[in-house]
Structure 1
Amino acid sequence: MALVLTSNSFKEGETLAMEHVLSANFGFGTDGGNKSPHLAWSGAPAGTKSFAVTCFDPDAPTGSGFWHWGVVNIPASTTELQFDAGNPKAGLLPKGAIQTRTDLGQTGYIGPAPPPGHGPHRYVFTVFAVKEESLPVTADTSGAVVGFFLNFNTLEKATLTGMFQR
């Protein structure tokens, strides 16, 4: 069975609800709830010792996309992240999991806030089945470096893409 990623918050290709969009507190002109969606996975391959979850916008006008969320060292016994688990103050992540730095320079989930009129952006949520219990990263590690370590330690991955535009 292949690794599969699903969500109670959205389906593949659907527009993300305003509860997942960046809040006005960040100053990017959006007024959402900035709550990470529920994510669940099944079908992890043999040898999985931990999971990682990322959210990446490949359509961001940066030349390198935009990392909206990173969580590593999720225990192998975990099969879902609750709604708003990306809120560092909520305490909803499993013990041992680490949220890494987003492209806003802080940890935790950062919701969509594409430039007005830029067209639809894809928010690619990925779960990685990792062959190590922990990756050698900290909360201050960038998405690119997390991606580097995941590239060499992933057994299998699955994606679920949400959309948003303004």
Structure 2
Amino acid sequence: MLACTAHAASFSVTSPAFEDGGTIAARYAGPGVCGGENVSLPVAWHDLPPATRSVVVTLTDPNGPKGIGVTHWIAYNLAPEASKLDAGAAISAPASVGLNMTKAAAYRGPCPPVGDTPHHYLLTVTATDLAPGVLPAGLDYAALQARLAGHTLTGSTVIGRYGR
């Protein structure tokens, strides 16, 4: 048990697009008035627990709208061996894509309201004991969380900020 705990403690998530707590480049923001190109954020995970069978990636904004929070991206059923998703791989990755805040199975880049303080975007990777393909396509954030209950091994988050 101690070895598993030590290993889980070393699990980490990084994004070459921003430092933890740093600013997300406009390229990854939503298109049009949001100021970006809607390119999905790159993300990498390191030192997964040995029992990991699949990985979940989410991008959420707990600040919007007005503190209720929204989901920008959900990718799941990822094989742990992948160890990363490159920039722009949101849809082409060998994964299931969940429903974002607009009920679309797609990446939706950051887009806080004009004049708001920069929002915090949580890029989270969760290790699960579920085999890839077990979770059905098209889950929204609440349905995904319900299906993951009792199946998560560990998770790690990096936080980026974006404002306009």
Question: Considering the TM-score relative to the shorter chain, is it more than 0.5?
Answer: yes
* Counterpart residue number, 1:23: 31
| Cα RMSD for the two superposed structures | 1.4
Within 5 Å, give how 1:22-101 maps onto structure 2: 22-24=30-32, 29-61=33-65, 64-86=68-90, 88=91, 91=92, 93-94=93-94, 97-101=95-99
Are 2:137 and 1:138 equivalent residues in the alignment? yes
Rounded Cα–Cα distance in structure 2 between residues aligned with 1:82 and 1:100: 18
Q: How far 1:137 moved relative to its partner? A: 2.8
One of 8, 11, 14 as aligned partner of 1:6: 14
Q: Deviations over 1:125-163 (max 9, x none)?
A: 000101111443322x21111122224311000001110
1:107-142 deviations in whole A, cap 9, x for unaligned?
121001101112121100000101111443322x21
CA distance in 2 between counterparts of 1:132 and 1:22 reads 31
- 2: distance between equivalents of 1:136 and 1:20? 27
Distance 1:151 1:110 in 2: 25
Gaps of 5+ in 2: 1-6
Structure 1 segments (4+ residues) deviating >3 Å: none
- Asked whether the equivalents of residues 137 and 146 of structure 1 are also in contact (C-alpha less than 8 Å), the reply is no
Amino acid of the structure 2 residue aligned with 1:64: I
What is the percentage of aligned positions where both structures have the same residue?
Answer: 30
Alignment size in residue pairs: 155
Report the TM-score when normalising by structure 1: 0.88
1:124 is paired with a residue whose SS is strand
Q: TM-score, normalised by structure 2?
A: 0.89
1:35-79 Cα shifts (integer Å, max 9, x gaps): 112111111012100101000000002553100000010012110
Higher helix share: 2
Q: From 113, 121, 124, give the equivalent of 2:122.
A: 124
1:31 CA drift (Å): 2.6
